Structure 1
Amino acid sequence: MSRNGKRPRYGITRAQIAAAQRQWRRGDHIGACAACGIEPAVDLRDVRERAGREVAAAVEDDLAHLVPDLLRWHALGQRPYPARTDSYLRWPALSLAGYGDNALHLAAWPEQGPLLGGTARFALRFGPLPDRSLPIARETWDARHAAGLLALCGGHTRLPFFAADGRRLAPAELEGAGPESLTERVVRLFAEAQYARAWEAAGADVELGEGIPESYLRVLPTLAPAGPVAIANARRAAARAGVPAAWIRAYGRVVRLDRLGPHDRPRVRVLAGAYLRDEPAVELAYSDVSWLPDFRDLLSGRLEPGDLHPMVAAALFPTMERAADAGPPDMPAPATVRVRCEGVWHELAHRGGTLTAPHPPEAAAREAALLAFGGPPPAGCPAAQLAWRGARIRLPRALRELRGELMLRVAAGEADTLEAMLDAGLDPNCRDGDDRTVLHLLPCLIPDGAALRLLPRLLAAGVNPNALDRDGLTPLMLAERSGARPELIAALRAATAT
């Protein structure tokens, strides 16, 4: 968790969003993709040869209206919290639009994925979908449909629990009629553990299969907390498929929605075992029965309205005053940390690329030498300084949180965050849980060129180009194995040789 009490949406910053938006509005779609770490690996000539002119024209039209930074924002929202470098992308691919047997989809950059934990970089592709791919709504990437994000959250004229200007409504202001009030009532009932009443309020009956306890209803809010939105999506999917029911797997069970006629009261059935194949039904996508991640984050307080992507904020809060720097909060500058040392409180601070303490510089070096020769672990300021640089000594909590947030953001591609921290005097000589330094994570940085620009600063700050991570790989070895740009590999090779 970040030090401001919220979990930031690691992987895209306000500056990256602004850069991508500028490029996209100028019609430079390739530049917009590059600004937010998406490789547009779609060859329209190949699409035409494989799928025909009509499909190629449809793909070209969709690509012309695709907003890369909006897509990346929602792709990042599909992963679990808190963000981890080994679960950066929860799904093998996100399916944007289908065209027969093929689909336009977003996947982790293949070479970097296994080595760099899912990576900060994505590839936009056309072709057959990988298994277990997750369909996402067109509203989450298509400029023509982005205004529909409000309806995906159960809203009509405002977002449930919020005013149209972004103000969170007081409980007394939530009474009334309309789709927002219905969603608000359903959410409140779920929060109060009145699950059957919540589904009843949403307009559906619930039936539990044999052997399934009523406590199972506790997990349904993670699938369909919207209630009315999930039912509406199930009705549309069933009508498109020409079948009377819809279903989705949920935590080892099958949740089946039937009686989906326009004038019927729907039924939600929770079934054990395999899906009943003798009863025709269409399989629902996860996005059909789940909240938009932005709405979940707003309800929980993880994000504030001003922290949203500008296009998301415009859709969810149509009358909110627009800030020039809208987007996720930037990482705050390193703060001074108090440490108990020699019976008194000392202050540690990041200054000029070093974690400084009120001791002579040789004090930490002396303790490091003693530790290397089997001496007792140091305490106080020297212990914190050595732990920050990778020694297996307990690091004060504030420094642990700072290090964790920094390394997560760097692994997710936030080059401007790393640069801002260096400008603020941060000591970059720290390691993540895999013993990787910021040099190991350089291939993740977005946009291209940021890694080469920051490499000299990191070397000047003393980051070791020959440091080994948990797998025994140096930054150069990891860059070579993860498909990094040739220029970065050459620069790392030169740094290693000196």
Structure 2
Amino acid sequence: MVLGWMVERATERRLAGDWHGACQTAGVDVDVDLPAISNAHGKEVAGRIEDDLRHLVPDLLRWHLPQRPGDGLLRTGLCLPLAMFPDAYALVARPPGNLDEPQRIRLAFERLDATAPGKRDHSLLLLRDRWDSRCTGQLMRRCGGTTHLPFFTATGERRATQPETVAERAIRLDDEGRHAEAWAAAGFELQVLLFDPGWGRERIDPAAFAPGRTGDELRTSRQTVVEQSLTRLRPVHTTLPEAARRVAEYMTNLRHAAPLEQDKSSQPRYWGPQGEPPRPDPMPTDVDEHCGLVRIDRPGRCLVLDRLDTPRPRARLVAAVPYGQADDDRKRAEVAEFGLELARVPRLPSVLSRRPDELTGLLRGSLRPDQLHPLVHEALFPAGTTPAPPTVRIKDRVRIYCTGTIHEVVLRDGAIQIQDSPAEIQRERAMRAFGGPVRGCVAAQEGWRDPAVRMPSQMRGLRRDLMRLVHLGDGPAVAAALDSGIDPHVRDERGRTLLHLLPWLFDADLAILTRLLAAGLDVDARDVNGETPLHPAVAYGSPALVRALLDAGADPKARSERPFQRMAIWTGRRDLDFLRTLNR
């Protein structure tokens, strides 16, 4: 999820030429030392990296990164190369390592060797329109449109007029389950090949089934299996030639960036701090990107495309190799049919072989035009009006069940106002003193500041909404909630106050810190692990935030308890050297 104010501020700074400020606003930390790269890799490489950074749209990158459904948090543990450079180096984007870290993205120039952490995803190498301002217009072509998006007008309304374009007709037939007709409508000659006659229908070889059947019965059965083999592919058929060219360019770039093979016998078996580190594994460049073929892999089958630069391209449907192990007979059959083994044919990744997510969401109605990133909206609906960013508000009152009736709990003037009488409040607190649970309004009031007290579900939902804004880094929305009178002394399930969570707020941590201190929050408050606000600030916050907490009286020698004892002054961050001097 990308916040409206973040897009506006980052765009303003980016258009002013301040790419570093745009990244800072969008929560993107640039860990790239251009002078050091120039010394180590040459001025050309450093210049290419600087050019990519100048055209990086950090809020668009954030919008396209994989997110968890429901809460909108970034998926963790990914390694996403943006651009490749010689000797297997790359400009890499990394989302947070785990869900409990601030939703910041780290950009670094690093080597993609076998020891590089994270699950690697090369989709951003293939789709520069997801982060590069020079390429955002490519999305329209990837969706099969020229002047307007298929089935939509240039302003964003659903179009119901005829005639259909070739792309629209193929998409419609595909959605109706007439997959073979969709390929034919897009101009493809669809063929079905037989390489393994011994396979049964359960192995999904479209031609090797129904022994003994003839005539109409065989044709009907064959057509059914062919349709089953083509289902769920859902490509934009007219864009497949362009996708094949992208894959060829992608493989050429990988081959250029791949390190040379080394003589393994000359490498030391063991190496230490003074030894030579192992070279990275060669990149996967054992395919022939100039063979004129690409393949789309499906479970149990494979679709091989060729003649893509002609008016009559071809798609050949074949059985996949069982367990990925082709015997000699299969290899000879592949070479006779395609001129080379299928293992050497470049594979079309799903991000290029399937419809773009934006087109799928718009066609299904799960995504509205006003929910698109402004640059995506501009690319898909060039004559439309860029939608205004939505405003996010937190409710200031909820209705809960209390002692047999419905009461309204109001958050106003930094406090929680309840309808219980003083006698009822005293009775509930007496119950708690004797070890019993508190309920109703008193639980709503005390649980807001004490995670040990279980609040009514409506109050828990209100706290969850507030904490979601914090975890998304929506500082302006949190400030607006404080302006509306919400109690700032809230604690989450781990007992953390808003002071603990300041590193999660992009570009607003210092302003909100001042407000929280003025509201009386304890700068040395402890969470359930015994951590004070200075601990997460040292782990994730900026040096300015750490200094501001110290100036407010935070104890730099406060020790946490779990999962292990630590003090803020024990940090290894180089930009916090001033903390270590406090231990002398």
For 1:338-397, what per-residue CA distance to the aligned partner results, in whole angstroms no more than 9, with x for missing partners? 22323332222221223322235896586356336411x333322333444434535334
Q: Structure 1 125/230 Cα, relative in aligned 2: closer, same or farther at 3 Å?
A: farther
Local SS of the residue matching 1:259: strand
Query: How does 1:311-390 map onto structure 2 within 5 Å?
Result: 311-323=375-387, 326-327=388-389, 329-359=390-420, 367=428, 370-371=431-432, 373-375=434-436, 377-389=437-449, 390=451
Note if contact 2:229-2:301 (Cα within 8 Å) is conserved in structure 1.
no
Q: Structure 1 200/82 Cα, relative in aligned 2: closer, same or farther at 3 Å?
A: farther
| Paired position in structure 2 for 1:266 | 315
Note if contact 1:235-1:261 (Cα within 8 Å) is conserved in structure 2.
no
Higher deviation after alignment, 267-276 or 38-47 = 267-276
| Paired position in structure 1 for 2:500 | 440
| Paired position in structure 2 for 1:4 | none
Local SS of the residue matching 2:314: coil
Q: Structure 1 340/22 Cα, relative in aligned 2: closer, same or farther at 3 Å?
A: same
Counterpart residue identity of residue 418, structure 1: V
Work out the CA distance in 2 between the residues paired with 1:51 and 1:65: 21
**2:451 aligned with 1:405:** no
Work out the CA distance in 1 between the residues paired with 2:164 and 2:33: 50
Work out the CA distance in 1 between the residues paired with 2:237 and 2:350: 15
| Deviation of the 1:219 alpha carbon | 12
Which of the pair has the greater relative contact order for Cα pairs under 8 Å at 6+ separation? Answer: 1
**2:245 aligned with 1:236:** yes
Local SS of the residue matching 2:344: coil
Higher deviation after alignment, 228-237 or 401-410 = 228-237
Aligned length: 462
Note if contact 2:143-2:239 (Cα within 8 Å) is conserved in structure 1.
no
| Deviation of the 1:477 alpha carbon | 2.2
| Deviation of the 1:152 alpha carbon | 2.5
Give the TM-score, by structure 1 length. 0.78
| Paired position in structure 2 for 1:178 | 165
Work out the CA distance in 2 between the residues paired with 1:423 and 1:297: 36
Note if contact 2:400-2:456 (Cα within 8 Å) is conserved in structure 1.
no
| Deviation of the 1:434 alpha carbon | 5.1
Counterpart residue identity of residue 58, structure 1: R
Structure 1 residue runs of 5 or longer lacking an equivalent are: 1-8
Q: Percent identity?
A: 34
Query: How does 1:18-97 map onto structure 2 within 5 Å?
Result: 18-75=8-65, 78-83=66-71, 85=73, 88-90=74-76, 92-97=78-83
| Paired position in structure 1 for 2:254 | none
Counterpart residue identity of residue 273, structure 1: Y
| Deviation of the 1:269 alpha carbon | 5.8
| Paired position in structure 2 for 1:134 | 122
Q: Structure 1 237/141 Cα, relative in aligned 2: closer, same or farther at 3 Å?
A: closer
| Paired position in structure 1 for 2:343 | 279
Give 2:135's match in structure 1, choosing from 137, 141, 145: 145
For 1:295-353, what per-residue CA distance to the aligned partner results, in whole angstroms no more than 9, with x for missing partners? 44444555432232222211111111235xx33x2323415322232333222222122
Query: How does 1:191-206 map onto structure 2 within 5 Å?
Result: none
Work out the CA distance in 1 between the residues paired with 2:319 and 2:523: 55
| Paired position in structure 2 for 1:3 | none
Counterpart residue identity of residue 261, structure 1: R
| Paired position in structure 1 for 2:509 | 451
Counterpart residue identity of residue 487, structure 2: D
Q: Structure 1 281/97 Cα, relative in aligned 2: closer, same or farther at 3 Å?
A: same
Work out the CA distance in 2 between the residues paired with 1:212 and 1:273: 11
Note if contact 1:155-1:179 (Cα within 8 Å) is conserved in structure 2.
no
Give 2:149's match in structure 1, choosing from 159, 174, 193: 159
For 1:422-455, what per-residue CA distance to the aligned partner results, in whole angstroms no more than 9, with x for missing partners? 11222344455655443332112112xx212112
**2:373 aligned with 1:306:** no
Work out the CA distance in 2 between the residues paired with 1:361 and 1:160: 65
Structure number with bigger Rg: 2
Note if contact 1:409-1:417 (Cα within 8 Å) is conserved in structure 2.
yes
Note if contact 2:396-2:486 (Cα within 8 Å) is conserved in structure 1.
no
| Deviation of the 1:283 alpha carbon | 4.1
| Paired position in structure 2 for 1:120 | 103
Work out the CA distance in 2 between the residues paired with 1:260 and 1:149: 24
Note if contact 1:91-1:134 (Cα within 8 Å) is conserved in structure 2.
no
Give the TM-score, by structure 2 length. 0.68
**CA-atom RMSD in angstroms:** 3.8
